[in-house]
């Protein structure tokens, strides 16, 4: 088996864990395009509570994201993932049986308590070689994007035929399917991947927040998911007012999302070719701002709204795809787990705040008010990008190190730093690994000679 491709086990790991992640995210997302329309029979229904119900999972997910990752390191990845999926199923059943909106909020909050993202990514890292880890993470990332697209298609269709309770029962079924995949298809890990790659270290979180480049990205994902959640509080109601019956909303959302995926590809290609990620990033922000301004100005015109939805998803898809890779490029070497922990927490907090802000703004100002508030937040993000740097195109390596003591670790790190192509190097004695950031001149064989690796 060559080192250039995924092994059979790594393919199995990638697609089984991507399926688990995707099924769970689909269960969380399916409610977004339909709840404001199909939840109107619930006791206590109001736009504010619609927003809280849609975003409630974000608060518990944000609070428990890092602790669940740490628990997985102590008690094992699979037990924590299975426990999280059990909580997700319980939350789904509570929401399915609720006759008031408050019961749905409780169910959504319990769904979010099954915060398994860090444990799933850590398990993926445990079961893959360091040189193949990026590919596996990319497959999982693509599956999350696909699950969001499918939720825009499946959510409205399921809600139309089975109602809101049927939709929540389906999410419980997805959780059970995820448990079966974890138990029967995902291999058992023999060893843990280096922690710096996968898990957040609480002691390092403050440093992640104080880094100006990482802070811009964390603030960005917070705003992006705040805006997404807020828009989906108002958009379904606005489309009905514009003349699109709720049973046909999927006919707009799904093609718009897929079309937007293809429209974002040129942004990625141009950004890479011209080495101007920052410029493309700002263009994507402006595309979303144009979309939001159009939604506010033409809220009664279905055709113009449809074009605005395509533009919104074009900008959203580019930013959602770009942010994790930018975090990896800007974070200090060996601290990707901590950087991603803060990033994920910011993302889920954004979803919670977006639900509250979207619901409150709709109740006070209507759909136009929601879109204008979202526009203002995107403008704040655009201002934040002024000081953003273009990332240098570097690769990261995590390599085994035959290190004996602290002095040996320092000497080894010094030798690695002197190698051609090595931009940054750190050797961690406790983990017996070296974390490297390198450019195109790097020779892996030279590094392994220094590390005394058996490879």
In CATH, what number is assigned to the domain containing residue 263? 1.20.1250.20
222 and 348 both lie in a single domain: yes
Residue 138: exposed, middle, or buried by beta-carbon count in 10 A (0-12, 13-18, 19+)? middle
55 and 79 both lie in a single domain: yes
Contact in structure between 343 and 324 (CB atoms under 8 Å): yes
Neighbouring C-beta atoms of residue 3, cutoff 10 Å: 11
Q: Using CA atoms of 83, 88, 91, 96 in order, give the dihedral in degrees to the nearest 10.
A: -140
Q: Using CA atoms of 280, 286, 291, 296 in order, give the dihedral in degrees to the nearest 10.
A: 170
pTM equals 0.90
pLDDT digits (tens, 9 = 90+) for 359-407: 999 999 999 999 999 999 999 999 999 989 887 777 888 888 888 888 8
Domain boundary, last residue among 174, 199, 224: 199
On the question of pLDDT at 413 being above 90, the answer is no
349 and 403 both lie in a single domain: no
Question: What's the pLDDT at 406?
Answer: 86
- Is 441 or 170 the better-scoring residue by pLDDT? 170
pLDDT digits (tens, 9 = 90+) for 332-355: 877 888 888 899 999 999 999 999
Residue identified by tokens 């790190």 is 413
d(CA 391, CA 278): 8
Q: Give just the sign of the alpha carbon dihedral 23, 24, 27, 32.
A: negative
334 and 439 both lie in a single domain: no
Domain boundary, last residue among 393, 417, 434: 393
Domain boundary, last residue among 150, 179, 199: 199
243 and 159 both lie in a single domain: no
362 and 419 both lie in a single domain: no
Residue 400: exposed, middle, or buried by beta-carbon count in 10 A (0-12, 13-18, 19+)? middle
157 and 250 both lie in a single domain: no
Question: What's the pLDDT at 1?
Answer: 41
What's the whole-number mean pLDDT along residues 72-80?
91
d(CA 346, CA 8): 35
Count: domains in the chain? 3
Which SS3 state, helix, strand or coil, does residue 398 take? strand
3-state class percentages of the chain: helix first, strand second, coil last, to nearest 5:
75, 5, 20
Residue percentage of the chain with pLDDT more than 70? 98
Contact in structure between 375 and 249 (CB atoms under 8 Å): no
Question: What's the pLDDT at 104?
Answer: 98
188 and 57 both lie in a single domain: yes
Question: What's the pLDDT at 4?
Answer: 64
d(CA 9, CA 189): 11
354 and 312 both lie in a single domain: yes
Q: What is the pLDDT confidence band of residue 3, given thresholds at 50, 70 and 90?
A: low
Domain that holds residue 301: 202-393
Give the DSSP per-residue string, 117-141.
Answer: HHHHHHHHHHTS-GGGHHHHHHHHH
- Is 195 or 135 the better-scoring residue by pLDDT? 135
β-strand pairing of 433-438 with 395-400 = antiparallel
Instruction: Locate all alpha helices (DSSP H) within 185-276, ordered by sequence.
Output: 195-198, 205-210, 212-241, 250-273
188 and 304 both lie in a single domain: no
259 and 274 both lie in a single domain: yes
On the question of pLDDT at 2 being above 90, the answer is no
The set of residues, in sequence order, having a beta carbon less than 8 Å from that of 55 and lying 6+ positions away, is: 229, 351, 352, 353, 354, 355, 356, 358
Contact in structure between 129 and 5 (CB atoms under 8 Å): no
d(CA 273, CA 270): 5
Q: Count the alpha carbons within 13 Å of 284 in the hemisphere toward its beta carbon.
A: 31
299 and 184 both lie in a single domain: no
pLDDT digits (tens, 9 = 90+) for 12-48: 999 999 999 999 999 999 999 999 999 999 999 999 9
Among candidate residues 32, 37, 22, 24, the one with its CA nearest the CA of residue 163: 37
Among candidate residues 435, 280, 439, 294, the one with its CA nearest the CA of residue 374: 294
């Amino acid at each position: 088996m060559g080192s250039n491709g995924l092994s059979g086990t790594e393919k199995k790991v990638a697609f089984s864990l991507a399926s688990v992640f995707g099924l769970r995210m689909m269960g969380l997302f399916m409610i977004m395009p339909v709840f404001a329309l199909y939840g109107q029979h619930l006791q206590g229904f109001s736009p504010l509570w619609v927003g809280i119900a849609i975003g409630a999972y974000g608060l518990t997910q944000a609070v428990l994201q890092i602790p669940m990752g740490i628990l997985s390191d102590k008690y094992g990845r699979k037990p924590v993932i299975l426990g999280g999926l059990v909580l997700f199923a319980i939350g789904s059943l509570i929401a399915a049986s609720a006759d008031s909106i408050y019961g749905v909020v409780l169910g959504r909050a319990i769904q979010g308590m099954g915060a398994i993202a860090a444990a799933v990514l850590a398990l993926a890292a445990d079961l893959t070689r360091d040189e193949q880890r990026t590919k596996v993470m990319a497959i999982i990332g693509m599956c999350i994007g696909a699950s969001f697209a499918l939720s825009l298609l499946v959510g409205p269709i399921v809600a139309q035929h089975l109602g809101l309770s049927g939709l929540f029962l389906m999410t419980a079924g997805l959780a059970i399917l995820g448990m079966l995949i974890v138990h029967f298809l995902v291999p058992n890990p023999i060893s843990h991947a280096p922690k710096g790659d996968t898990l957040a270290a609480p002691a390092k979180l403050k440093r992640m927040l104080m880094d100006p480049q990482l802070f811009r990205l964390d603030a960005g994902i917070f705003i992006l998911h705040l805006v997404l959640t807020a828009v989906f509080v108002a958009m379904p109601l606005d489309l009905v007012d514009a003349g699109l019956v709720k049973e046909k909303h999927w006919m707009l959302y799904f093609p718009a999302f897929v079309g937007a995926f293809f429209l974002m590809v040129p942004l990625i290609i141009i950004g890479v070719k011209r080495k101007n990620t920052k410029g493309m990033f700002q263009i994507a922000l402006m595309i979303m701002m144009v979309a939001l301004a159009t939604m506010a100005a033409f809220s009664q015109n279905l055709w113009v709204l449809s074009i605005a939805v395509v533009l919104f998803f074009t900008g959203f898809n580019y930013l959602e795809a770009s942010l994790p890779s930018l975090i990896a490029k800007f974070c200090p070497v060996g601290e990707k787990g901590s950087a991603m922990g803060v990033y994920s927490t910011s993302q889920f907090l954004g979803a919670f705040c977006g639900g509250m802000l979207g619901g409150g703004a709709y109740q006070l100002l209507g759909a136009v008010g929601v879109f204008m508030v979202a526009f203002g937040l995107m403008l704040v993000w655009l201002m934040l990008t002024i000081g953003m740097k273009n990332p240098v195109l570097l690769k990261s390596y995590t390599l085994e190190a035959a290190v004996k003591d602290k002095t040996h670790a320092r000497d080894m790190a010094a030798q690695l730093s002197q190698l051609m192509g090595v931009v940054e190097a750190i050797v961690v004695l406790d983990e017996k690994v070296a974390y490297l950031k390198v450019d195109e001149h790097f020779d892996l064989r030279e590094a392994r000679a220094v590390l005394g690796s058996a490879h």
